[in-house]
Structure 1
């Protein structure tokens, strides 16, 4: 036992030292797109480190072939994968590739395709399926599994009444096993094919299919699920990271570094994003430029009669009797209209409920710009609960940290207040620690990283926020996990800050 503990500690120590040594080498930036490089192909923008033509991409993995007469016009040359767009997601602060991913069919008369020719294999590349995708299968008496990922077993089962592919029409487009089924995919998935089995030998043996897909694309582009029988592919999100050994960018206030460690391959990879309050391409020299928040109407309004003054990374209000500061961000607290939130949640449809408790109900929704959010609808409040609501708005509106859930806005024109947050896709830490039915128990490395990220968030709140904030209710159910199982501290209703306490709270 002593040897095991010592070995684990030694491994962790060596890993931390390795990361520290690599970080120490990040003082010089030697890569960037050349002036003569094309930055688009047809209507598809191709941002660096991807590129078209010699000396226009970071390395051969990021080389893009351009054929404007094709649809789509861009192909990642080395892995021969068609790219529809390089989509920058403001909510996640990173870039994804939206690519063709095969629909695997089985027992489809006249439509059978050899599954061996449909295999996606990204092994050895810096690319992998994003955790924002879902594995979806459909068909009667169907048990579908993701192939070639042993010893893991990932898949789902579906059934239906009758002999139709999807059974009874499901207007909510949810796959619950009775018509189709869905499950999350393993982290850093680099290969995809599917195998099919029948749940019972006596049941119907009709058409079956399976695919990995960007769930948002599926929900808003497929109106009749049976249309998938006639499709060769769907769109999926591919994530990527810079391989260890690539020269990182210079460390600066405008650029943040993500260190990604894959325990299965013992690889360390890198991603960069512009810091909050900056916008641009973090892979280019001086690519992240400060945003002038004072040019945006919502910040002028938030300053009231004071003067909005832009400073690097944020803005402040000067000349007001009330002290106001807002940390820079691509998203700041917004006052939503009832029409916006009704549309986002389908009039607060019960099918959109993702959580419910003593303080109210949480709905999942989509804003007009395509962002997925959650709307927290509180129950009727007594005075003390109104205080908690106000505190949560005040605190989260001046907090900006990657491990703290982001408040996007609120609605104040009814007796029941509403808060709008970024959507965190993988639930709470509590469910992964205590729910035995979870398909992917958290590894020791993942648990350690979640603890570290939570500690970093608390350190920021206590020491680096413009006003010290004390959460006072840290527990596993208040730690949300995103698609990469990164921690997001939430639920600030019982928090206190020195500033707000001094004004009567």
Structure 2
């Protein structure tokens, strides 16, 4: 170590030693000069003392057992306060214990008697613990007997609340003021016979507030033998006026004043304002240097503070006059020149401030405009505008400004959130024309796929199907683009099927209607849209319902646009557990049959009323689709169907839809029907309901003549399509919960 390092260490050690010496000196100054001031870790300030000549009188004698434990009147002293005139002592806990037949096992009474101390009524509480316990506290107050009681009952531990002493297992009351003698007795109504298994004893004690925290375990065994109690002390029995007549015996020394007590005899000494220390020692109250601590003085200029005995004064700088205090008139300049200079400086400063603020706002505004233009270009705004001009459509895809959507969502207030998930957050917004919309704020976007993302936005905005949530436009002025959809009012199919808060039960015809409309929407996306679209995340949370229970397919954050010259493509596996196509999961080859499988799971949800995947169910029933197929194979279909729809009596329809769901859930995609076939089949099943004269048990030929080519048309279909890119990057397996 070099010389400089050694000097630094020596200096640091010196500072530490000086601090320790200063603290020790301050503690020693509280005791009478030449007297011991410590017993163990308890400081003994005057008028208390350990040996003859070191205390004011015998009432303040503290014994020190084994040079470790401070005691007064048999009580262990934990601390003594001169400023608050208090002692903290350890007080015994009274108890009374019984055996299971009600016989008394042992008991301890406690009493406290001393003419020199008063039990603090503001710092202590009388507490009783037990389930068949009451206790008395008797004492003397102003020379007369005084009694209070507290009762604690409970039949079991069920109603006992930890930390609560309201009468169940524990009760507490305030201690009256002025008590110098107390006796505590613990009693029981039924000798704890009914509660002996968990509460064989009753306890009572006076303890300092905050030092006892009730716990139900204490009913079995209260581990405390004693607890802290606060005592108040005073000098003698005389008033200040009478005690001051005998100047030699008067305890209040220089720079202190005397204070009478209201509820007990004697007086106390306090240091006068501006002084601190021990008022019972001749030079105990020392002047406080207010100038050393800015919190103790109100001088307008700290360096102009002047300490005086018991106070301080504040000076004003040259050419100024006044009190120099913040709470007074302060300091005022004497010369008009100084006033003019100050005015000139102030005007110059304000001019500079206004000018710099104006320049800052202009620069900030230009930067903001530049940043928005950067985001607009970065997010494909120019590409979108070019597509709109090429298609001759200027209104299909509206481009919103950032300010419009901030205002619509009240600056994206949390109260406007209607959905959150892996892809981002959906907010409810109100446009200036009062139209309610859903605004999707995604988490990230892959900059390498901006062209594909813009193509997807453009195509989706042109989809106009009554069962597909309409994409109204987007905002490209933000780091991540925002999408604006029409707002659907009646929440998701998932919540209607699975949330307990829904008091109404969804009828089978409504479920069948939702299934048929959802199938029509997916068939439209697969077969009739200008660019075929695979949704890739079909599930009940992405099927929204309006007030008439019309189904609306939503959340195209995971969707894929399908080039017309391709049928399948390797993609990153994405979707929601419980709905994922097992073939897609194994091969990563996405086709439109993946949507068919997911739709099959939705059909099973509609039939059973159970969630697609629930880890609260047994392993065999965890996947509702697998459990459904197993039950169907074992001819136990009606055991797994929702009781409400079975009771409606549409058993033939239920069987038809169950078989359709089974075909959608086939492991091999080529064996599943197309969504168009599924939609036609569901439409046919609905027609059966609308024409009750159809004989379901009749010939297949009659049924086909009535329904057209609907039933069975899917059995040999294997057409499939897929996509060529991901429009949104950083997808997660669990998709956004509410796709509006």
Structure whose CA Rg is larger: 2
Greater helix fraction, Structure 1 or Structure 2: 2
Larger relative contact order (CA 8 Å, sep ≥ 6)? 1
- Normalized per residue, the structure richer in strand is 1
TM interval, shorter chain, is: 0.3 to 0.5
Give the TM-score normalised by structure 1.
0.47
